[in-house]
Amino acid sequence: MTDFPHVPFRLEGFDAPDRLDRGAQFRDWLDRRRSVRFFTDEPVDRGCIELAIEAASTAPSGAHMQPWTFVAISDPAIKRQIRIGAEQEEREFYEGGRATDEWLKALAPIGTDWEKPFLETVPWIVVVFEQLNSTGDDGERVRHYYTKESVGIACGLFIAALHEMGLATLTHTPSPMGFLREILGGPTSERPFIMFPVGRPTPDCTVPDLKRRSLEEVSLFLEAAPAPPEDEA
């Protein structure tokens, strides 16, 4: 046992049919989510970004270190710097030989290239940093554990929260992303993880007609065999 304080925990109970209905509704709502590359400049209230970050921060994390920092940018000058830095790295990726032919072939159906004008159009860019370590109350270095897994889960919840509020985003990962630390500052113990442009899609926005893999393709169930009838036992 541990001396760390614990508090009671209860989940609201649902009958089996209600659980299935709620699960199906949630699945269907998330199935409508798509990555977007065409945004309007319609303002988005800062409160929406704050709520999405708070939702993301409910994510589980290794040793409860919560190893993430969400940097939200609406300043046009900083967004301009980010676009310039991202397009420089992306041009090297697409045209400078960083990407293999196999990688470019995999990206071809999405129709992306090095130009990222949406980084200036969107009202917000949120850059998520992965914290490798932090400083404790005693001034000593505190190592963080399972940071990629923890930050990845938090980013997933961030995306779901934005979708719930009718906002669109894109998981943008120009490689390498060191330019973001140069622009935004921050300690060397943090490194850029994902950049999220956040806003409303344009009225004429289109997305690739991609199909998600089926349940059978993404899952494997290992269940106990049913018990034999009593007269066969």
Tokens of 53: 């970050």
Given a cut of 90, is residue 135 above it in pLDDT?
no
The CA distance from 120 to 125, in Å, is: 9
User: Stretch 11-36: mean pLDDT, rounded?
Assistant: 92
Comparing 44 with 138, the larger pLDDT belongs to 44
User: Stretch 132-156: mean pLDDT, rounded?
Assistant: 92
Number of residues that make up the chain: 233
The CA distance from 55 to 172, in Å, is: 20
Given a cut of 80, is residue 112 above it in pLDDT?
yes
User: Stretch 174-196: mean pLDDT, rounded?
Assistant: 92
167 CB contacts (<8 Å, ≥6 apart)? 44, 48, 52, 198, 199, 200
Given a cut of 80, is residue 3 above it in pLDDT?
no
Given a cut of 70, is residue 54 above it in pLDDT?
yes
Given a cut of 90, is residue 226 above it in pLDDT?
no
Q: How confident is the model at residue 232 (pLDDT cuts 50, 70, 90)?
A: low
The CA distance from 39 to 158, in Å, is: 18
Q: Which of 194, 175, 181 is nearest to 35 (CA)?
A: 194
* pTM for this model (two decimals): 0.91
Place of tokens 């950049």: 195
Given a cut of 60, is residue 233 above it in pLDDT?
no
Given a cut of 90, is residue 140 above it in pLDDT?
no
User: Stretch 27-37: mean pLDDT, rounded?
Assistant: 96
Given a cut of 90, is residue 196 above it in pLDDT?
yes
State whether CATH 2.60.120.1440 applies to domain 35-201. no
Cα Rg of the chain (Å, integer) = 22
139 CB contacts (<8 Å, ≥6 apart)? none
Given a cut of 70, is residue 1 above it in pLDDT?
no
The CA distance from 71 to 186, in Å, is: 10
The domains of the chain are located at 35-201
Indicate the burial class of 168 (C-beta count within 10 angstroms; 0-12, 13-18, 19 or more): buried
Given a cut of 80, is residue 164 above it in pLDDT?
yes
User: Stretch 134-145: mean pLDDT, rounded?
Assistant: 87
155 alpha-carbon distance from chain centroid: 3
Q: How confident is the model at residue 195 (pLDDT cuts 50, 70, 90)?
A: very high
Does residue 63 come out as left (phi exceeding 0), alpha (psi in the -120 to 50 range) or beta? left
Q: How confident is the model at residue 97 (pLDDT cuts 50, 70, 90)?
A: confident
Tokens of 142: 């505190």
Task: Encode pLDDT of 55-73 as tens digits.
Answer: 999 999 999 999 999 999 9
User: Stretch 181-209: mean pLDDT, rounded?
Assistant: 94
Instruction: Kindly state the helix (H) or strand (E) to which residue 77 belongs, with its residue range.
Output: helix 76-95
Place of tokens 């919560």: 66
149 CB contacts (<8 Å, ≥6 apart)? 62
